[in-house]
Amino acid sequence: MEATPGARSGIEKLNMALVVSSAPEAEQAAAMLREGETWVPLEDADLVVVLGGDGTMLRALHAMIDARRLIPAYGLNLGTVGFLMNRFQKNIRVRERLARVKHMAVSPLRMEATTQAGEQFSYYAINEVSLLRETRQTAKIEIGVNDRVRIAELAGDGVLLSTPVGSTAYNFSANGPILPLDSQMLALTPISPFRPRRWKGAILPDRSRVTFRVLEPEKRPVSAVADMKEVRDIAEVRLEIAREMQMTLLFDPGHALDERIVAEQFAH
C-alpha cells in the first residue's frame, strides 16, 4: 500500500535521533544511514530509530523515561532476537518505511520498593520486575493481587511480574507464558518454585495491582530487579502499570509479530 502524500510530507518534517548498539554490524549500518540523513540528539527528536537488538531498544526506551520525553521508537534488527525490531535491509530508506508503519502502545510497570531499613525506591520496568533470593536460602514471598493475598507463602528462587514486552525474555525462560503486545495482560511467574508445588503462575489483567512481601527477611534476604535497576534487602514491592508513561513502538506493515509470538511457543 502506497503512503499518502500527507503521510510522506509529515514524515519528511520529523527530526530523527539514531541510537546504535556497540555491535560492529550496527556501527556499519549506522555509518550508512548517517550518509543520507541528518540526525539530531535524542532530546531534540520527534522520533528515534534504534539499530541493534531488543536490549538496545530497551536502553533507548529507558533513556526516554528518564528524560520524561516519550517519542515513537522504530527498531531495525541488527541483534540476536529482535522481537521488538523490524527487519534491516541494505540501502534502506528510513523515511519511506516510516510513512507506512503501524503504531503499538506499550506501558511499563512502576515498582515502589521498600527495604528492610525503610528506604523507598521507585523505578520503571519495561520488561519485568523480578524478586530473587540473595543467598543459598530459599526465598519465601507472600503474593497479593488487588489487596488480597493470593499466595500466602511462595518458596523458591523468587517470582517475577512481566509485561507483554518482556514476556519473551526472562519470563519465558522461567516457563512463563508469551503474551501478545496488545493483550492487556501481565504474566505472574514463579522462579524455580518449591512450594506450592503445582502453582505455575497466573495471567492477570494489566489493571491489577500486585504486592510482594518478603517473609523471614533476616534469614532469607531478597533483592528486587526492575529491568536493570536492583534494590537489595527488600521488605515489600508494589507494582502496577504506569499508564502515564505510555510509549509507542513502530512496526512495518508486513512485520508478522503475531506469527512470531505463536512460533516462539513451538520452538524446540
On whether 252 is known to bind a ligand per the annotation, the reply is no
168 is in an annotated binding site: yes
Give me the amino acid identity at 82.
G
127 is in an annotated binding site: yes
Q: Which residue among the candidates 54, 147, 182, 206 is catalytic per the annotation?
A: 54
Helices (H), the chain: 5-12, 24-35, 54-67, 94-98, 170-173, 257-264
Contact 116, 233 (CB under 8 A): yes
Integer Cα distance of 67 and 18 in angstroms = 16
165 is in an annotated binding site: yes
- Catalytic, 54? Answer yes
**Taking the mean position of all CA atoms in its chain, how far away is CA 251?**
16
Q: Which helix (H) or strand (E) holds 254?
A: none
59 is in an annotated binding site: yes
Handedness of CA 222, 243, 17, 74 (dihedral sign): positive
C-beta of residue 249 within 8 angstroms of C-beta of residue 61 = no
Judge whether 175 is annotated as a binding position.
no
Q: Is 233 annotated as a binding residue?
A: no
Output phi, psi for 30, to 5 deg. -65, -40
Q: Which uninterrupted H or E stretch holds 235?
A: strand 234-241
Q: Which residues are annotated as a binding site for NAD(+)?
A: 54-55, 59, 127-128, 157, 165, 168-173
Q: Which residues are annotated as a binding site?
A: 54-55, 59, 127-128, 157, 165, 168-173
* Catalytic site positions: 54
